[in-house]
A and B are shown apart, each in its own frame.
Chain A
């Protein structure tokens, strides 16, 4: 792979928990993202998965500089975003766009498709008014919407179509990277497939890089080159999608893969499912050592001592000190 377009170096995003009415005191810290290092190559699709609350959205918003990093750095094409001046940051941010889970909430209900899509074009001076209609039509066609619906409002579209509008808006400034935060989680199965195909096509045709966030593994394998599995703000396994999903190494990844209900009664009834006990613990007081140890079927006393770093194992990287021992 070529030089990475996006790089995260030991990124941490913590939220202070404050209490008190007159004098807000900090009483604790939510370690939503707690030491993430990864890179994204040009044209690459990285799937990011983990249970809700593990920090996926916080990581996405940190990459987009919508949240300040507590420590560590985010580099876009080799430039550290936090060091950039406002003007340069604005230019660089054009290369980074986001698509959200809920297209109902992320689109302005009072703006027509034309207004929604032409706004970024006009504000960034990509084209003038006379050109906007043509460019909006082109964007709509790219995402599979008929340009004749340009003057309609979001509520006149179905969920899947609204997600297409949100994707078109993300594409308006011809970004290099799209971060899609659970873009199909709210959609019906038959519509999910349409949106997944669309994203795959856009990556192919426009040479985009994509960070595709999902809370389970069932949709990511199909679209991703690599997959990163997150648990309590850290990456516990990262590698080629096929490897990670077909032959997971980290006990948590194994449980996630095992928890996906298979649409095949034969397989489903005869397999031994790994059922993890308990809910994901809170990032406010994460467990010591390997934060997964209270739910891990392979944990030993040593797991409570130190957080295992990501280390190469079986052709990918895994953060578990007992790899090979179970």
Chain B
């Protein structure tokens, strides 16, 4: 049994400028203790996928058009509000790029850390404070006994990220959703935070969904990766397989365009054009307009995520037909 099963999720935004199909038929499953990376360029629907699961889509303009997100037997998209509240923020936690998304600038860290424990009735105030202190120590805040009484602005950027992680993990969630938590950080601080998430994931055995646009970041952290483009999943595989034998033309192009550590002089591989306009219905493969291998058929039929080998699925028509 999977811990989380998302099936045919569609989340659209109904705006004055049209309907944006931000997430358009996303399905995936996640096992207990598994780490899943979701990779894609900005606007590909990574955040909206996770916001839908967490009930964070502003409605309106957003609307979940279809689909289900079943967490340990409960459909988060359709269950009663109190059922959802018992799961979100307790058994599933989320962290963000900007820690101030989760932190209240006017409250001491101590109050914010114990809040989820008190709300969910998981501990007395005294026990909660003890656990908050332990948690701060676990995320590597020195002098935690003193700093637990600080306000968020009294911490540096990297330290605030740690506080947010402490707050997300204090209820010992079974699933942590991390939405680009290291994107705004310096590489040296990013390395610290990745190390921390990796260590806590192993210690607590929780499942992690890690959203990033950086293929480098997922390579060391995730068991499995899924690549999103234009609101859909175009490829999913174990991390090793995805890096060794990427199949979908978009994944391949993305991998080839990473500039890191390429020597001077060679022309970098580039993907021509831009991501699709999600307010226009996309017929066929969303990548067709930029794909070097596209044929007329690619814009005709809707692509289906097809399993090519156990655990490795991709959505290119031509790859599925054995032409690429």
Contacts and interface: CB of A to CB of B under 8 A. Distances in A.
Given A188-B42, A218-B259, A259-B187, A224 B270 contact: no
Give 10 closest A-B pairs by Cβ, nearest first: A261-B216, A268-B220, A218-B260, A190-B271, A259-B191, A259-B187, A193-B268, A51-B186, A193-B257, A188-B41
A45 B8 CA distance: 49
A194 B273 CA distance: 10
B1 interface: no
Contacts of B157: 279
Contacts of A266: 240
Interface of A: 51-52, 158, 160, 188-194, 196-197, 200, 215-219, 221-225, 241-242, 245, 255-256, 258-269, 273, 275-277, 279-280
Nearest to A45: B264
Interface residues of B, number: 43
Given A160-B274, A221-B261, A265 B219 contact: yes
B264 A224 contact: yes
Nearest to A241: B264
B84 interface: no
Interface string B145-180: 000000000001111000000000000000000000
A275 B191 contact: yes
Contacts of A158: 274
B188 A259 contact: yes
Given A51-B187, A263-B258, 7 more contacts: A190-B257, A218-B261, A259-B190, A262-B216, A262-B261, A265-B220, A266-B240
A222 B259 contact: yes
A280 B257 contact: no
Contacts of B259: 189, 192-193, 196, 218-219, 222
A221 B262 CA distance: 7
Interface of B: 41-42, 156-159, 186-192, 194-195, 213-217, 219-220, 239-240, 243, 253-255, 257-264, 266-271, 274
A188 B44 CA distance: 11
Contacts of B266: 222
A257 B213 CA distance: 20
Contacts of B216: 218, 260-263, 268
A197 B215 contact: no
A173 B293 CA distance: 41
B243 A263 contact: yes
Contacts of B187: 51, 215-217, 256, 259-260
A279 B270 contact: no
26 contacts: A51-B186, A158-B274, A189-B215, A190-B257, A190-B270, A190-B271, A192-B259, A200-B267, A215-B186, A216-B186, A216-B187, A218-B259, A219-B260, A222-B259, A260-B261, A261-B220, A262-B219, A262-B261, A263-B215, A264-B219, A264-B243, A265-B220, A273-B195, A275-B192, A276-B191, A279-B157
A282 B187 CA distance: 17
Interface centre among A200, A221, A222, A223, by most chain B C-beta atoms within 10 angstroms, is A222
Contacts of A280: 186, 188
A316 to B, nearest CB: 16
Given A52-B186, A188-B42, A215-B186, A263 B219 contact: yes
Contact of B158 (A216, A218, A279): A279
Interface centre among A216, A256, A279, by most chain B C-beta atoms within 10 angstroms, is A279
Contact of B263 (A189, A216, A242): A242
Given A245-B261, A273-B191, A268 B186 contact: no
B214 A261 contact: yes
Nearest to A276: B188
A48 to B, nearest CB: 15
A263 B189 contact: no
B269 to A, nearest CB: 7
Given A196-B259, A197-B270, A279-B159, A223 B190 contact: no
